[in-house]
């Protein structure tokens, strides 16, 4: 006779996944906030560079563009991570119901 399946193992694995997602979410949100601060600083510098030579302005604008792309990419990645976190939480909430109907 086979042993009874461990019904808590999938739930525990999901909780570990949620904890990992939370840690990654905090790190990613901090990186995004840092990138946004850098972008604000670069935009302020480019606004004050009206009298600067065209090459200097071009460098500042290129820096702003690169930072904006980085911020956008981080924001998209953070949104995907938050969706995955919500999905893992929904799976945990559904787990007891699934186990009750499966047994």
Predicted pLDDT at 103: 47
Contact in structure between 32 and 70 (CB atoms under 8 Å): no
Predicted pLDDT at 94: 86
Predicted pLDDT at 49: 86
Task: Tell me the backbone φ, ψ of residue 100, rounded to 5 degrees.
Answer: -70, -35
Predicted pLDDT at 9: 79
pLDDT beneath 70, residues of the chain: 1-8, 96-103
Predicted pLDDT at 73: 98
Q: Which of 12, 14, 11, 2 is nearest to 99 (CA)?
A: 11
11 contacts: CB under 8 Å, gap ≥ 6:
92, 95
């Amino acid at each position: 006779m086979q042993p009874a399946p461990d019904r808590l193992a999938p739930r525990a694995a999901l909780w570990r996944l949620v904890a990992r997602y939370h840690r990654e979410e905090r790190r990613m949100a901090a990186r995004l906030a840092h990138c946004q601060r850098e972008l604000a600083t670069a935009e302020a510098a480019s606004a004050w560079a009206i009298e600067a030579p065209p090459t200097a302005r071009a460098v500042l604008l290129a820096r702003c563009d690169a930072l904006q792309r980085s911020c956008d990419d981080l924001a998209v990645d953070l949104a995907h991570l938050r969706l995955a976190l919500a999905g893992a939480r929904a799976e945990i909430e559904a787990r007891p119901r699934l186990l009750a109907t499966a047994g």
